[in-house]
Structure 1
Amino acid sequence: MDKLPASIAKFRPMCPYLSARKMKTLRTMSTTPSTKFPSVSRLMVKATECPTMRPALLLRSHEQVAGYASLTEGVTPPPMEKGDSYSNVKTPSPGVCPVAHAATTAPDAKAAHVNPASQLAEGKSNPASTSPVARLTADMDGTTSAIPQPHHHANIDPTHFDYAAFYEGELEKKHKDKSYRYFNNINRIANKFPVAHTASPADEVDVWCSNDYLGMGRNPVVLDTMHRTLNRYGAGAGGTRNIAGNGAIHLSLEKELANLHRKEAALVFSSCYVANDATLSTLGAKLPECVIFSDSLNHASMINGIRHSRARKEIFKHNDLADLEAKLQKYPKETPKIVAFESVYSMCGSVSPIHEICDLAKKYGAITFNDEVHAVGMYGPRGAGVAEHLDFEAHGVLGQSGEPVKGGAMDKCDIITGTLGKAFGVVGGYIAGSAHLVDMIRSYAPGFIFTTSLPPHTVAGAQASIAYQKEHVNDRRLQQLNVRTLKARYEAMDIPMVPNPSHIVPVLVGDAALAKEASDMLLRDHRIYVQSINYPTVPVGEERLRITPTPGHTFEQMERLVSSTDHVFNKLGIKRKSEWLALAESTVAKLLLKRESERAEPLWTDRQLGLKDGTAPKQLVDGKSRSVLGVEASQHARMRLAHLLDVEGVMHEGVYPPVHAIPGAPGRRAKLFGPRAVPASA
């Protein structure tokens, strides 16, 4: 009997019949044999009744193994249960329905009948041997033994470990506890941000869960800088930072980051996951008898860094200062300690009490490690994060000086980590701190030493983005205004959200399968992409939709999101906030009540948003307004690397012209590069 194929689960959102049924029902149908064809599941028989899948299966069967047509020809479909009719289902074309497309785009019959043994001998995979259709056909022809079965693994020596069975078992656990992850095919369109297309470029959707919080991934200054850098320095870095991968652009970005956080130095990594892991593991391993104190909601990168350090760890309750102090008191002041926390917790939107945590750390002889991943670019007058935002006016007075605000939250943090891949719109991560700390990590951290350096154009784009945001506050202002509007609209509709003072809008569902179904319905029926979040990212019972408004979302897009969410909640019977609160002992109710008791005012005040003096940016309206590019900020950003990029002989059109467009006689190979030896110095 066939288990529910992963492809069916993947394409369920696109199929009217599959999407209308629960996964439990589909799994039962896929594991229950047909009465007429015992080797075929009820779900496969049902597929033969589909006006799209029936001809697709026929074609597929003829191309693969003769005999499958016996299932679809001459079969009188069994009586359908109420609501099972396909008569009211619009038949999608193969170009729209991915299931039909996969079945009707098989290779020709000759290619489909490649000898499995010859393929295995050549070390190639045999697609037909693992196809559900091929296995089903083989069952009907009595040739099952010639085709490898997923759970038999006939070619495995019984004295050896069955790796394939192990992989399947682990995946089955994910399916059973509803934590298996499905990745949607979402392709962001630069000139239509925040719109994307799905697998088909013609199918466009509104994206409401991107971590490109400010849309800097499509900012013209960033793109222009990256094009100029590509033309000047090529695609890759050429090696690790130690071997050919340490260029002027990398050093320039690190100087920019040190200035952003008003620290002595900074170090760039391939991602902030790597930055956190490498820094915590190196420090924890090198500091003698080190103890690391970690917030219970810290990101996996920090958890793994602590684990890899093999240092003693203490986990304190989320944002609980009393619990943190009680744990700090257990150790002598001379014992090296690290207190690790995040400024904004991305799944619930809570904000850490940075001043108070740093004061406790200093009191007990610890250093602080502040992860600002979801805050850089988003908070503060220059976009340095929550630590800067807490002393907003003081940092505003200092301007672009690299001097610290003495006694400020950012000055108190010994180590700050951040990402270049969220609000700054590119990719990469970094740490900032004292010169000696950064140099030690540079010298000892394997995650930095033994990995290829980020490409020059990525690094240049990141610096342009940071330089732009340091000078242009209105992107984050408008983003926060959109957050306020959306939260107010949801609150009025009794949609349950985790209360928080940040830019994250976590809509609670409380069930993994239901959250996935809600996400699928929004995408399928409303052309809105919001990914569902389940375990292990959030605890079981706290599953949610994580929504992140951007400054590029229009009033009309927001209204469509709100009405669509309301429709999905009604259609699926998802509990509203008042319903959850009536269930006082439920996980969601406890979470809501706890967060309500801790409710804090938004980090951005009316004055900081420009609502008091009339300088606040205006919300965008479809067809009537466009995102405003900061002219002065653009000039500052473009000039950052002008001394390296704007030199004589470098093309500035953005990219090299295609080979066929380069002047020259037809048929002649265009000469793009003419390397010459560097002359010896006199």
Structure 2
Amino acid sequence: MERVLNTAQKACPFLHNASAATLRNLSTKSSSGTSSSRLINKAQQCPVMGKAMAVQTSRFHTTTKVATPTPTVPRAIASNESKKAAVTPVSHNTTGNKFDYESFYNHQLEKKHKDKSYRYFNNINRLAQKFPRAHTARPEDEVTVWCANDYLGMGRSPVLIESMKRTMDRYGAGAGGTRNIAGNADLHLRLESELADLHHTEGALVFSSCYVANDATLSTLAGKLPGCVIFSDNQNHASMIQGIRHSGAQKKIFRHNDLAHLEELLQSVDVSVPKIIAFESVYSMCGSIGPIKEICELAKKYGAITFLDEVHAVGMYGPRGAGVAEHLDFELNATQPHGGNGSVMDMVDIYTGTLGKAFGVVGGYIAGSASLVDMVRSYAPGFIFTTSLPPAVVSGAMESVKYLKRSGAERTKQQLNTRVVKDRLAQLDIPVVPNPSHIVPVLLGDAEQAKLASDTLLSEFGIYVQSINYPTVAVGEERLRITPTPGHNEEMIDHLVESLEKIWSRHSFKRVKQWEAEGGRAGVGIKDASKVEPIWTDKQLRIGKVSETSTQTLASAAASV
């Protein structure tokens, strides 16, 4: 009887929602002494099973004249079981035409070539002693890198390198396994303590990358929360999109940084339903910054938790490099660097960050409540079954985090160099997507033109800037993504700006006025658009007012840092 009930439960919505005790009661003999009649009566009342049973009964009466006893289970179930038993055997013929895998691969690649989105990886070898210089395939061919995410040049800093050398000498190269087998060292625990302290949270958990951290955390958390709905900014990183997909949870996409649209979507879900709002602080391809405080306020109002990706902000913003959430209350967090101080940082539920950009090594992490961190640690396959970061990497990351908590010089110079580059390009009417962050996206609006500009910079001017195409950015918004660092000096900036001017003039690439004549695109050439102010204020950078600060003054300030 248990087998029958289990089968019936899978086939019928009514039975699926009924308890085992109810089904046993329905399947016992009635007062008339017939078994299963009440179960069948209930099944006939079901809009799905009732129709199926009627069809089966009709077929039965037209195909047989032999009387049969009353079945003990609905005919639809018995029919399904017979169909399963009559499955056609799999053919083992090995003489037919086999699938042409290589042709399939080449066809997919040809599609990328045709739409100009095929990605070429340049051979770039960064030189630690000459940062931001690198050599290409031949060591004697050196170029200046202008697109690395090692934003502060920490990847070559003695602060990291010396610690990593000592750690490797003592503990060797690899971690020795996953965290639960042989890869959980004191260094991992100390790094997680530093990261929790950085974000004013109770705990933190280190992953092999932030892609894995985002995917594993969102898929695990949303998959476990009953009926969870995820609200995702439509410009979110691929790692968050994958995590949302893997969770199986319902998702609702809100327009980029559109608080009204987000609130409209939140209102469509009952306040008692678990909800996650996933968004970023700095969106790396356009340089825009998420409205963190306002999103957190909406989350509290509608019973949601916040999942904030600070990947392109950690190390770069705030008095201790915790990111944009810390930067929003700069002075408060500088004087009271701890949780419960009333800053926006207290409003964020889950932080994610990377060790592979401003911190200069590799890896990712989450930070949040002790229970949240422990739950992800206990359930996330992306954490449980991945070999942990090598001790030397963890040691370097820890020293970098500790150092950037104390030193703001690298952040300051990076921001000053960013202002200089943006101002110089604006003077030449070369289109930069307006934003308040450290990203300098130069719009071309065409994949072929973007690659031509990138190739020319590299081959003719010794400058490496990778072109950005679909699907990283929308078709028609292709660009060069420039990222100044503290290591770029005035001479390098001059060379970059002059090279871009020559390329724009030679190929008649669109300038800001042309984009404006076409109605604008990606924020460039939008008439009557309000001026975008940098998130780092003049006071925080210790320079004069923006209106009184010339490009030369900014360059001088950067050189003096």
Q: TM-score, normalised by structure 2?
A: 0.80
Identify the residue that residue 288 of structure 1 maps to in structure 2.
Answer: 226
CA distance in 2, matches of 1:527, 1:168: 32
Task: Verify the 8 A CA contact 1:499 1:595 in the aligned structure 2.
Answer: no
Pick one of 393, 401, 405 that aligns with 2:341. Answer: 405
After TM superposition, list the pairs within 5 Å mapping 1:392-541 onto structure 2.
Answer: 392-399=330-337, 402-406=338-342, 408-541=343-476
Is contact 2:477-2:522 (8 Å) kept? no
Shift of 1:589: 3.2
8 Å Cα contact 1:414-1:433 kept in structure 2: yes
Question: Which residue of 1 is the match for residue 281 of structure 2?
Answer: 343
Aligned residues of 1:249 and 1:460 also touching (Cα < 8 A): yes
What are the ranges of 5 or more consecutive residues in structure 1 without an aligned counterpart?
1-155, 629-682
Partner SS for 1:173:
helix
The 8 Å contact of residues 225 and 464 in structure 1, kept in 2 or not, is answered as: yes
- SS of the equivalent of 1:597 reads coil
Q: For residues 157 and 577 of structure 1, what CA distance do their matches in structure 2 show?
A: 62
Is the partner of 2:477 in helix, strand or coil? coil
The alpha-carbon distance between structure 1 residues 225 and 500, as it changes in their structure 2 partners (threshold 3 A), is: same
Change (3 A) 1:160 1:398: same
What amino acid sits opposite 2:361 in the alignment? V
Aligned with residue 536 of structure 2, among 596, 600, 604: 604
1:252 aligns with 190
1:159 positional shift: 2.3
**Structure 1 residues 590 and 525, CA gap change in structure 2 (3 angstroms):** closer
In the alignment, residue 523 of structure 1 is paired with which amino acid? L
Answer yes or no: is the 8 Å Cα contact 1:281–1:307 preserved in 2: yes
Q: Cα offset for 1:161?
A: 1.3
Aligned to 1:548: 483
Number of residue pairs the alignment of both structures matches:
462
> What is the rounded CA distance, in whole Å, between the counterparts of 2:325 and 2:353 in structure 1?
12
The answer as to whether partners of 1:501 and 1:599 remain within 8 angstroms in 2 is: no
**Conserved 8 A contact 1:531-1:546:** yes
Quickly say closer, same or farther: Cα 1:449–1:208, change in 2 above 3 A.
same
Q: Is the 8 A contact 1:498 1:595 kept in 2?
A: no
Instruction: Return the offset for 1:510.
Output: 0.6
User: What is the rounded CA distance, in whole Å, between the counterparts of 2:291 and 2:131 in structure 1?
Assistant: 34
After superposition, the C-alpha distances for 1:501-531 in whole angstroms (9 at most, x for unaligned) are: 0000000001001100100000000000000
- Shift in Å, 1:612: 5.2
Flag the 1:595–1:325 CA change in 2: closer, same or farther, 3 A.
Answer: farther
**CA deviation map 1:554-587 (0-9, x unaligned):** 0000000000000111112211111111122xxx
Shift of 1:620: 6.5
Take 2:466 and 2:403, find their aligned partners in 1: how far apart are those partners? 29
Quote how far apart the aligned CAs of 1:405 are. Answer: 2.5
- 2:251 aligned with 1:313: yes
* Residues 1:230 and 2:162 aligned together: no
The answer to whether the 8 Å contact 1:552/1:620 transfers is: no
Q: After TM superposition, give the deviation of residue 592 of structure 1 in Å.
A: 2.0
- C-alpha spacing 1:599/1:272, structure 2 compared with 1 (3 Å): farther
Distance 2:355 2:109 in 1: 32
Query: Do residues 567 (structure 1) and 505 (structure 2) align?
Result: no
What is the match of residue 360 of structure 1? 298
Identity score, percent: 65
CA shift at 1:184, angstroms? 0.3
The residue type paired with residue 518 of structure 2 is L
Change in CA separation of 1:157 and 1:577 when aligned onto 2, cut-off 3 Å = farther
Helix, strand or coil at the partner of 1:349: coil
Contact 1:263 1:404 in 2 (8 A): no
Aligned to 1:174: 112
Q: Which residue of 2 aligns with 1:151?
A: none
* Cα separation, 1, equivalents of 2:196 and 2:187: 14
Contact 1:482–1:551 (CA under 8 A) maintained in structure 2:
yes
User: What is the rounded CA distance, in whole Å, between the counterparts of 1:574 and 1:231 in structure 2?
Assistant: 53
> Which residue in the other structure is 1:329 paired with?
267
Q: Secondary structure at the match of 2:402?
A: helix
With over 3 angstroms needed to count, the CA separation of the structure-2 counterparts of 1:326 and 1:533, relative to structure 1, is same
> 2:95, 2:326 → 1: CA distance?
61
Which position in structure 1 is the counterpart of 2:97? 159
Distance in 2 between the 1:591 and 1:315 partners? 21
The one-letter code sitting in structure 2 at the alignment partner of 1:359 is E
Structure 2: which amino acid aligns with 1:338? I
- Cα distance in 2 between the residues matched to 1:578 and 1:612: 30
- How far did residue 601 of structure 1 move? 1.3
- Which string of whole-angstrom CA distances, capped at 9 and with x for unpartnered residues, describes residues 17-46 of structure 1? xxxxxxxxxxxxxxxxxxxxxxxxxxxxxx
Q: Which residue is 2:128 aligned to?
A: 190
SS at match of 2:252: strand
Q: Sort the Cα spacing of 1:186 and 1:328 in 2 relative to 1 into closer, same or farther, 3 A.
A: same
| Matches of 1:198 and 1:409, distance apart in 2 | 44
Distance 1:617 1:498, change over 3 A: closer
Residue equivalent to 2:67: none
1:319–1:352 Cα contact (<8 Å) kept: yes
Amino acid at match of 1:606: D
**Could you tell me which residue of structure 1 aligns to residue 492 of structure 2?**
557
Give the secondary-structure state (helix, strand or coil) at the position aligned to 1:430. strand
2:144 aligned to which of 206, 215, 225 = 206
* SS in structure 2 of the partner of residue 591 of structure 1: coil
Q: CA deviation at 1:598?
A: 5.8
Q: What are structure 2's unaligned runs of at least 5 residues?
A: 1-93
RMSD: 1.9
- Hey, what's the Cα distance between the residues in 2 that align with 1:590 and 1:617? 28
State the TM-score, normalizing by the size of structure 1: 0.66
Q: Find the aligned partners of 1:503 and 1:324 in 2 and give their Cα distance.
A: 26
Contact 1:271/1:427 (<8 A) preserved: yes
Q: Distance in 2 between matches of 1:179 and 1:578?
A: 27
Matched-pair contact (CA < 8 Å) for 1:214–1:476: yes
AA matched with 1:549: P
Deviation (angstroms), 1:498 = 0.6
- 325, 328, 333: which one aligns with 1:390: 328
Deviation at 1:543, TM superposition (A): 0.2
Measured against aligned partners, the alpha-carbon deviations of 1:455-494 in whole angstroms (never above 9, x if no partner) come to 0000000010011100000100000000111100000000
1:404 positional shift: 3.6
- Mapped partners of 1:390, 1:440: distance in 2: 29
Compare CA radii of gyration and give the structure with the larger one: 2
Residue 83 (structure 1) aligns with: none
Query: Equivalents in 2 of 1:617, 1:243: separation in Å?
Result: 52
Contact 1:249–1:456, Cα closer than 8 Å, also in 2: yes
Shift of 1:597: 3.1
Q: Is the 8 A contact 1:344 1:375 kept in 2?
A: yes
